[in-house]
Amino acid sequence: VTDPNDQGTPSPDAHLQAALRHAPDRDLQPPLALSARILAKARRAIAPPPWPHRFWTWLARPVPAGAFSSVLLAGFIGLMWRDGPPPEAVAPPAVAPAPQTTSVPSVPSASADPSPNAKQAVPTELLRRTQPTAAAPTQGAAVPEVVAAAPSMAESRSASASMPSALARQQASTASASPSMKGSADTMGAPSVPPDPLAAMVVAWRAGGPESAAPRRWWEALRDQTQGRWRDAEPVEGADSLLLAGPAGEPLGRLRWEPAAVRWQAAGDDRGWRAELSAGEIEQLRRTMPR
């Protein structure tokens, strides 16, 4: 007890300490759901990051980043040159020599004899362009050449026009595949930490006294056997579920045995869990379960 005449360091007051020891909140413990959240957070924090994160971290290093950007650049250039060099990269063709048009008369007249319909089909602009270099008798011969070229140009135009639609088809097929790919990507991006809904219960029993040894061992055994098998499930309800209490008699949660699984719901947590077990495992756990 502090001596009131002593101005030095006060020592603890035994009466106040005794009152504190007997206060109604002396055995206050955090709620199990809260403990479970904190323990799960700790496990998630030390779990290895998902591979996309590791990949990006690796890629952020200078050497891989340089290599990757080079590959990207090369790929881009390759894509641009896939259908041949762009027009501006090709040297301009030599101007057609004048004699080229003079050779036109050597074309057999049968093939050079254009039908009036074919002539009509040729754009007049093209006709005008060919007329100054061609003599009057060869005009008809020049026209079929242009007409013959027209379908090939049209063909190439239609091919280039059809290219976006091919790309669109390819994108559509990718898009149709994307839901599953997206799903798998989501799964891969999520931290790969198996849920451990019994962690808080094991901790609660470990905090108990020596008389808690048997229940603690049972909970640890249940936790070991169900590790990695827990899946989200409906809340545990019904008359066939067991309400289990902790070392101080506080309710820990509800447990239900099924033929091939065990169901668990912690007190204060609205989610249920289900772990599949073999019949033998269930039988052994039920037999050793503390009363």
Partner 1 sequence: MNDEPTDDQLMRAFAGGDAAAFERLYQRHAGPLYRFVRRLLGSTAAMRGDEVFQDTWARVIGARDRWSPQGAAFRTWLFTIAHRLVIDVQRRSGREVAVDADADADTEPWSPADDGLHPWSGWPAPADDPGDQAFWRAAGVRLLECLDGLPAAQKAVFLLHHDDGVSLDDAAQALQLGFETVKSRLRYAMNKLRTCMGAYLPAALPAARGEKSA
- Residues at the contact surface with partner 1, assessed by CB under 8 A: 1-2, 4-7, 9-10, 12-31, 34-35, 37-39, 41-43, 45-46, 199, 202-203, 206-207
Rounded to a whole number of angstroms, the minimum distance from the CB of residue 290 to partner 1 is 20
Question: 196 or 264, CB closer to partner 1?
Answer: 196
Shortest spacing between CB 250 and partner 1, in angstroms:
12
Tell the smallest beta-carbon distance from residue 160 to partner 1 (Å): 57
Please report how close the Cβ of residue 8 comes to partner 1 at its closest, in angstroms.
Answer: 9
Q: In angstroms, what is the minimal distance from the CB of 171 to partner 1? A: 43
Three-state helix/strand/coil letters over the chain:
CCCCCCCCCCCCCHHHHHHHHCCCCCCCCCCHHHHHHHHHHHHHHHCCCCHHHHHHHHHCCHHHHHHHHHHHHHHHHHHHCCCCCCHHHCCCCCCCCCHHHHCHHHCCHHHHCCCHHHHHHCCHHHHHHHCCCCCHHHHHHHHHHHHHHHHHHHHHHHHHHHHHHHHHHHHHHHHHHHHHHHHHHHHHHCCCCCCCCCHHHHHHHHCCCHHHHHHHHHHHHHHHHHCCCEEEECCCCCCCCEEEECCCCCEEEEEEEECCEEEEEECCCCCEEEEECCHHHHHHHHHHCCC
Q: Which is nearer to partner 1, 25 or 186 (CB)?
A: 25
**Least Å distance between CB 58 and partner 1?**
20
